[in-house]
Amino acid sequence: MHRIVKQVGTGVLLCAVLFMTVPSRAQMAEGKDKFLGNIIAGTVPRNFVTYWNQVTPENAGKWGSVESSRNNMQWANLDRAYEFAKKWDYPFKQHNFIWGQQQPGWIASLPEDEQREEVEEWIRLYGERYPDTDMIDVVNEPIHAPPPYKEALGGDGETGWDWIIWAFEKARQYCPGAQLILNEYNVIHSNANINKMIEIANLLQERDLIDAIGVQGHYFELRYYAPTTLKNGLNRLAATGLPVYISEFDINEEDDDAQLLAYQKYFPLLWEHPGVKGITLWGYQQGAIWQTDAYLIRSDGTERPAMEWLWDYMTDSSVGKEAETSPSRFILYDNYPNPFNPATEIPYSLDEPGHVRLSIFDMLGREIRSYDSGMQHAGLHTFRWDTRDDAGNEMPGGHYVYQITVTTGRGIETDSRKMTLVR
């Protein structure tokens, strides 16, 4: 049995205190059968209802934010996000109950029986205070970041995931009206992680404890993988019969054209998948977002090209669903990971065939590694740097600059970015 999230609507503000003015144009996902949401970090942005129709508290819902001092609950920011969602009739998703990060520091020193009691109390108090919560990330990042008190909740146990089953049992007990979600990152491109998610989901389904799967969908999870790989991953998750939510989508690109291209490539792939029932972006305002360049609205209130395109895509049926859009010029992307050790990937896209030379410089301006590709076809390419110079010597930790020079029929174009090697 799956808990059904209420139909998304525009809602009416019932209280005298206005969070914002009523939008002058229809919200992007109004009338759609899935939501397009965003986070509220503390105060509610005045333009929130112009764009989004689902709410997730960013840090306000994390246990470490609410109870950083034992038995001293700080609910104010979570209250604000929850009340805003209820007044506008937007689905509200709690993020999260259990996660290996941003937990109260004091819990690690407690004996296991007290740890278990404190976790249950946290879930119970949340359920009592916010009884109309629509969705909950019960366990966040179970594969990558299990909590330090995992053993207190049952550890691996007979199933291999007993601690997760315990958490979902308590969430079902104290929050019976909410959809319960298992949320993770680096999933849809990884068969190993998909297998683990399905294994956990099956155990929870047998006990009627799970209602949906969450896939974070950050840019670093998507950018190096073919669309067919990502679609196949979504297909496998959807085959469980559970709805899939893209829970933390962002495109972190400083260059407007690069961000636009990535939105055109990845957003339709996710939005149009029949198994995906909603997408939540992880921030949208410049200066108020965890990834510095993932914003869609500049600090002066103007929209970046990706935001303009997203409006057209969501509201204009004549806009093509461009999952394989070509860049309007060559684009050099941020390397990933960064900082890095022992290697990093440097991706770039060509809008037409060209001759490519890639160089890496130290901070004294000395070229320590060069790569000459010859002619390359249009599309996405990647260069892997293993931290060695042209002579095969490993380079010391520090800052480096990578530069690409592309020669096409238009002439010669160059771009460069900084990266950090850690030792």
Question: What is the DSSP secondary-structure string of 16-54?
Answer: SS-SSPPPSS--TTTT-SSEEEEEE-SSPPTTHHHH-S-
Last residue in a domain, options 270, 291, 315: 315
- The domain spanning residue 370 has which CATH number? 2.60.40.4070
My answer on whether 219 and 356 are in the same domain is: no
Identified catalytic residue from 118, 141, 184, 253: 141
My answer on whether 283 and 167 are in the same domain is: yes
* CA-to-CA separations, 69 to 66, 104, 259, in angstroms, rounded: 8, 7, 40
- Pick the residue with more confidence: 227 or 117? 117
Burial profile 309-331: b = 16 or more Cβ within 10 angstroms, e = fewer: bbbebbbeeeeeeebebebeebb
> Using an 8 Å Cβ cutoff, are 247 and 216 in contact?
yes
What does the angle CA 400 – CA 258 – CA 42 come to, to the nearest 5 degrees? 90
My answer on whether 255 and 380 are in the same domain is: no
Give the span between the Cα atoms of 88 and 40, in whole angstroms.
14
The β-bridge partners of 276 are 244
Predicted pLDDT of residue 73: 97
Residue 376 included in any domain: yes
Lowest mean pLDDT among 145-159, 192-206, 254-268, 368-382: 368-382
**What are phi and psi for residue 331, nearest 5 degrees?**
-135, 130
Predicted pLDDT of residue 27: 82
pLDDT-derived band at 328, boundaries 50, 70, 90: low
Mean pLDDT (the chain) is 89
> Using an 8 Å Cβ cutoff, are 197 and 182 in contact?
yes
Give the span between the Cα atoms of 282 and 257, in whole angstroms.
20
- The domain spanning residue 81 has which CATH number? 3.20.20.80
- 141 is a catalytic site residue: yes
Report the number of distinct structural domains present in the chain. Answer: 2
233 contact partners, CB below 8 Å, separation of at least 6: 187, 188, 189, 190, 191, 194
My answer on whether 302 and 360 are in the same domain is: no
Span between the terminal Cα atoms of the chain, in Å: 51
Q: What percentage of the chain has pLDDT greater than the value 70? A: 91
- Pick the residue with more confidence: 170 or 412? 170
Identified catalytic residue from 118, 169, 221, 248: 248
Residue 23 included in any domain: no
- Pick the residue with more confidence: 214 or 9? 214
My answer on whether 339 and 238 are in the same domain is: no
My answer on whether 200 and 52 are in the same domain is: yes
The tokens describing 301, both together, are 């209130």
**For the residues 7-30, what does the mean pLDDT come to?**
47
Give the span between the Cα atoms of 175 and 180, in whole angstroms.
9
Give tens-digit pLDDT for 231-248: 989 999 999 999 999 999
My answer on whether 123 and 212 are in the same domain is: yes
My answer on whether 117 and 175 are in the same domain is: yes
DSSP state letter for 293: T
Predicted pLDDT of residue 87: 95
Q: Could you tell me the sign of the dihedral formed by the alpha carbons of 166, 171, 174, 179, in that order?
A: negative
- 221 is a catalytic site residue: no
My answer on whether 288 and 406 are in the same domain is: no
Residue 153 included in any domain: yes
**What are phi and psi for residue 115, nearest 5 degrees?**
-60, -50
The residue range of the domain holding 256 is 35-315
